[in-house]
Amino acid sequence: MNDFIRQLADITGSGFVSSEPEERYLYSMDQGTMSPAEPDAVIMPGSTEEVREIMLLANKHKVPVVPMGGGLVLSGLTRALHGGIILDMKRMNRILQINPKSRYAVVEGGASEGMLQAYLKKHHPELKHSMPDAPPIATLAGNICIHGSGHLSVLGGFHSDMLTGMEVVLPTGDIMRTGSCSISPDWFARAPLPDLSGLFIGWSGTTGVVTKLGIRLFPSYSHNDMLIFVCEDADLMPDVISRLTGTQVAEDMTPWMTPKPEWARGFLHINISYGAHSKKELTFKRNLLQASVKKYSDQKIAGFLPMPPTEKSRFLKIPSPDLVKFADIRKGGGFEYVGAIMAIEHFAEAYRAGLQIARTYNVSYSMGARIIGAGHAMMFFYAYAFNRADPEDIKLAQHALEATNTAALEIGGIPWKSELPAQKQIINKMDQNTFNLMNQIRSVLDPNHIMNPGNWEK
Amino acid sequence: MPAIKFDPELCASCETVDCLMKCQYIEFAGISDAKAEKLKINAGENSRVLNECLTCYACQEYCPFGNNPFYLLVELQEKKGILPAPKPIVEEQLRMMSPKGRITRQKVRSPVVNMCAFPMLTGCVRGKLFEGASVISGNDIFCNIMWLHFAKNSVIRDRVPKMIDNIMSFYLKDSKIDEMVCFHDECYGTYTSVAEAFGISVPFKPIHLFDYINRRLNEIPDLIKPINEKIAYQRPCSNRLSPETDKILDDIFIKIGAERVPRKHDRENALCCGGVPRAQQRDELADELVEKNISDMLSTGAKYCVFNCPFCMATLGQEVAEHGLMPILVSDLVLIALGE
């Protein structure tokens, strides 16, 4: 291994490779409940060419490679389960191109959400991209590869739907492109070609390393506002969501349910964000949203919270600071965020299952969802905070997590960015031919099985 | 708890029905139409007024007999389960504004200024104007008058006596103080008009902020540097419960050299800031009220838009500022005149 590490250093320079125990420890875990797994080394490539050389070397020596963006996935997907190297992409963080007319950006595989947000604010204030509520150091590539969602997901769907193309280094060292950039200098779309981007999205880093990608940008409005809808009956939520998304004016919709503060316990809220180029247009959009659920406000069983403009500013912050605040509620640095992608009609079942699990395991919870598209799906999340210094607390959170994944699957949903045990649960429920095809694809792309081994295996 | 102080015979004998005829939000075909609706309310029957009421408190001021028409209307709304706002909104507000039991005994000295549930405005109590003042605030001394907007007289009956008890036991009694300055019209209205109408006894003397400021300015006339500016005043709904204090405000403005410009929507014709209709899910009406208020202010050439209600300021302040007027509280305007 020492010789291998020396060869890695020849590729990136010794300053960007480490097999020191400190680095191995830090890279052995994320903030979630999965137990640590140390890599043999960590390497930070600075270019696609360096990634290619690393992959050639790793493939030759059959050394496992775990690609990593921000390392914030919380489900342990960037742990080196079979040792090997963690390929930390954060040095490859350049924003390569902004196309304001066709509204897309091309960035390197380690560029972060926060960097693109800041870059656009400074150089293209008329444009924005869909920010997730992860800390801004989360990478665009990582978030797209896990089918993330964010502040424009009602408008644009999953972040993977906003992908326009990719440059990927395969485990064999081949560099390939997907989408229009494989033919044209422009990274405008994945259509009309066979959609090879799908070979790298949702695979938890088991098929290749994303070194560049194109993503859609959207108009950044000069006028922005938000509403908070509130009701007491979870069974109303699918219809409410359907009506609100049916107006096609919201950019983002995030239901939330939390027992703290006390006034919010038992109520179901939906934050709805929207923007416009003028105040008149903004008011028009608000009226459309309100009219869509007038049936319920007229019955006085639900409605929009009255909020003076000054109180709205915290809700208009992107990313939202609220989840991060909740993450530290138990202190001790432990936070698990379990999402499940499911159809919106299962909202009430998902909510009740979460309440039951929180009661059973006595865990601090916060539940919510992000609506995808015009009510086409939702990412329903259960967030459990725990104290990492308390083994019992960790165990409770782990049990809650397992129970949540089981419940999500029973409801008809699919655990999102699933950790190892949940991957196995999904595989058990998955159509066998689908899983066989996944394995066949992987053996073609990664004949030596070096990419993030341990994931998506029976 | 006693019923609302109300004389039905006096009401029935009223020839003008000002309480409804002067209402700026509900249309009546004429006095007979208004009277018919009023008599229905008095008899505890359904009236469209129960559903259409904006809860602006103005009828309390319009009634020439001080016969508490608004409190009676809210009583009937609650009895009939007519919620001006959706139930979950009311329920959340009830929890949000509930007493928290976090009050601690505190030695205070005169003047004691009650900031109610707005501790964030404590910084307004400063300088020569409030020299030596003790400030009290928090949910445990919340005046609870807001429930008039939500058809919840029962909450007023339940919580106000507890708040009064808290004020006495935790602050005033041990400090041997028997009066308290109400920074907000709402508190003053609670401890005077509401308390009297609801039969709630108040063991201290509430002092209206305007009364306090006016007296204080009399004590320090040499410190006043007239601001010589035109101001548009946004009179809040809760000042309808103590209309006599509006004249004191005129005295204050004169003393500090502020010209209270004549507005179409001031004094008896003051319009709601637009905050409460949003809770009632009547945003388009709220927009209209905001627009009317602002265009009215702008037409006067005023430099400042002066508020005494923090909620009005939160509702209108940003809009006012975007239109070039400076939003400011009465007390802060006075502080400017005092060079602070």
Q: Is residue B2 part of a domain?
A: no
Chain B: nearest CA to A127, how far in angstroms?
24
Q: Are residues B64 and B176 in the same domain?
A: no
- Supply the pLDDT for residue A331: 65
Read off the pLDDT of each residue in B174-197 and give the average, rounded to a whole number: 97
Q: Tell me: the pLDDT tens digits for A398-412?
A: 888 889 999 999 999
Q: What tens digit of pLDDT does each residue of A190-224 get?
A: 999 999 999 999 999 999 999 999 999 999 999 99
Using a CB–CB cutoff of 8 Å, tell me whether B287 touches chain A.
yes
DSSP structural state of residue B60: H
Using an 8 Å Cβ cutoff, are A337 and A386 in contact?
A: no
> Is residue A335's pLDDT more than 80?
no
B122 assigned to some structural domain: yes
Are both B99 and B202 inside the same structural domain? yes
Select from B95, B100, B316 the residue whose CB has the most chain A CBs within 10 Å, as the one to mutate to test that interface. Answer: B95
pLDDT of residue A362: 81
Assign A333 a pLDDT band (cuts: 50, 70, 90).
low
The pLDDT of residue A324 is 64
Residues of B in contact with A306 (CB under 8 A): 85, 89, 275-276, 278-279
CB contact under 8 A, B89 and A303: yes
What is the domain range of residue B285? Answer: 220-337
Overall size of chain B counted in residues: 340
- Token pair 């601001």 is found at B227
Instruction: Tell me what percent of the residues of chain B surpass a pLDDT of 70.
Output: 100
Helix or strand run (H / E) with residue A211: strand A209-216
pLDDT for A332 beyond 70: no
Q: A269 and A258 in contact (C-beta within 8 Å)? A: no
Q: Please list the residues that pair with A365 across neighbouring strands.
A: A384
Q: pLDDT class for A310, splitting at 50, 70, 90? A: confident
A313 touches chain B (CB under 8 A): no
Nearest CA in chain B to A302: B86
Specify the pLDDT at position A319. 86
The whole-number pLDDT of residue A380 equals 96
pLDDT score for B2 = 80
> The CATH number of the domain where B268 resides is what?
3.40.50.1860
Residue A2 pLDDT more than 90? no
Inter-axis angle of helices B330-337 and B209-219, nearest 10: 10
Whether pLDDT at B7 is above 80: yes
Contact B85 A300 (CB under 8 A): yes
Beta-carbon separation of B318 and A262 below 8 A: no
pLDDT-derived band at B151 (thresholds 50, 70, 90) equals very high
Whether B110 and B201 share a structural domain: yes
Would you call B317 an interface residue with chain A, using a CB distance cutoff of 8 Å?
yes
The token pair at A381 is 């999340």
Asked if residues A326 and A383 have their Cβ atoms less than 8 Å apart, the reply is: yes
pLDDT, residue A328, reads 64
Nearest Cβ partner of A267 from B85, B88, B311? B88
Q: Is residue B325 part of a domain?
A: yes
The CB-side HSE value for B327 (13 A sphere, CA atoms) comes to: 19
B79, B104, B120 - which closes a domain: B79
Residues B302 and B256 in one domain: yes
A326 band by pLDDT with thresholds 50, 70 and 90 = low
Lowest mean pLDDT among A36-45, A237-246, A362-371: A362-371
* List of residues 6+ apart from A230 with CB closer than 8 A: A267, A268, A269, A270, A302, A303, A304, A305, B86, B88, B89, B92
How large is the average pLDDT for residues B333-338?
A: 98
Asked if residue B178 and residue B100 are part of one domain, the reply reads yes
B309 Cβ partners below 8 Å, 6+ apart? Answer: B184, B185, B186, B234, B236, B237, B238, B273
Contacts of A123 by beta carbon, 8 Å cutoff, 6+ apart = A98
Burial code (b: 16+ CB inside 10 Å, e: under 16) for A108-127 equals bbbbbbbbbbebbeeebeeb
Q: pLDDT tens digit string along A77-109?
A: 999 999 999 999 999 999 999 999 999 999 999
Cα–Cα dist A293/A300, whole Å: 11
Which residues make Cβ contacts (< 8 Å) with residue A140, sequence separation at least 6?
A107, A111, A112, A113, A116, A129, A213, A215
Residue B1 in any domain: the answer is no
- Which of B83, B93, B283 faces A286 most closely, judged by CB atoms? B283
Contact indicator for A86, A63 with CB cutoff of 8 Å: no
Mark whether B277 and B301 lie in a shared domain.
yes
* B322 assigned to some structural domain: yes
Other residues' Cβ atoms within 10 Å of the Cβ of residue A426:
17
Q: Looking at the domain assignment, is residue B54 inside a domain?
A: yes
User: Confidence band (pLDDT; 50, 70, 90) for A388?
Assistant: confident
Last residue of a domain, one of B79, B106, B126: B79
Q: So what's the pLDDT on residue B1? A: 67
Q: What is the pLDDT of residue B89?
A: 97
- What is the predicted pLDDT for the residue at A416? 95
Cβ burial, residue B298 (10 Å; 0-12/13-18/19+): middle
Kindly report, residue by residue over B50-80, the tens digit of the pLDDT: 999 999 999 999 999 999 999 999 999 999 9
ipTM above 0.85?
yes
For range B104-121, the mean pLDDT: 95
Do B94 and B197 share a structural domain?
A: yes
Asked if residue B5 has pLDDT above 70, the reply is: yes
Q: How far is CA A252 from its chain centroid? A: 15
Chain A window 230-259: which residues touch B at a Cβ cutoff of 8 Å? 230-232
In a domain, B3, yes or no: no
| A184 half-sphere exposure, CB direction, 13 A CA radius | 13
Q: Are the CB atoms for A393 and A362 separated by under 8 Å?
A: no
pLDDT at A385 over 90: no
% of chain B at pLDDT higher than 90:
99
φ/ψ (deg, to 5) at A457:
-125, 150
Q: Give yes or no for a contact between A415 and A340, defined as CB atoms under 8 angstroms apart.
A: yes
Does B190 map to a domain? yes
What pLDDT score was predicted for residue A74?
Answer: 87
Same domain, B237 and B296: yes
Residues B200 and B234 occupy one common structural domain? no
Residues B232 and B204 in one domain: no
Same domain, B29 and B63: yes
Q: What local confidence, expressed as pLDDT, does residue A398 receive?
A: 83
Q: Which of B179, B212, B245 is a domain's end point?
A: B212
Nearest to A378 by CA among A158, A215, A201, A231: A158
C-beta neighbour count of B32 within 10 angstroms: 10
* A263 closest CB neighbour out of B83, B86, B96: B96
Phi, psi of B329 (to 5 degrees): -80, 155
| C-alpha distance from B172 to closest chain A C-alpha (Å) | 30
CB A136 within 8 A of CB A114: yes
Ordered structural domains, chain A, with CATH: 2-88 (3.30.43.10), 95-219 (3.30.465.10), 223-418 (3.40.462.10)
Q: How confident is the model at residue A395 (pLDDT cuts 50, 70, 90)?
A: confident
Contacts of A256 in chain B (CB under 8 A): none
CA separation for the pair B93, A356 (Å, rounded): 26
User: B232 with B330, same domain?
Assistant: yes
Q: Is the pLDDT of residue A329 over 80?
A: no
Give tens-digit pLDDT for B249-274: 999 999 999 999 999 999 999 999 99
Task: Quickly state the pLDDT bin for A364 (edges 50, 70, 90).
Answer: confident
pTM, two decimals, is 0.94
User: Under the phi-then-psi rule, with left for phi > 0, alpha for psi from -120 to 50, and beta for the rest, what region is B309?
Assistant: beta
Q: How many domains does chain B have?
A: 3
Cα angle A245, A251, A256 (rounded to 5 degrees) comes to 75
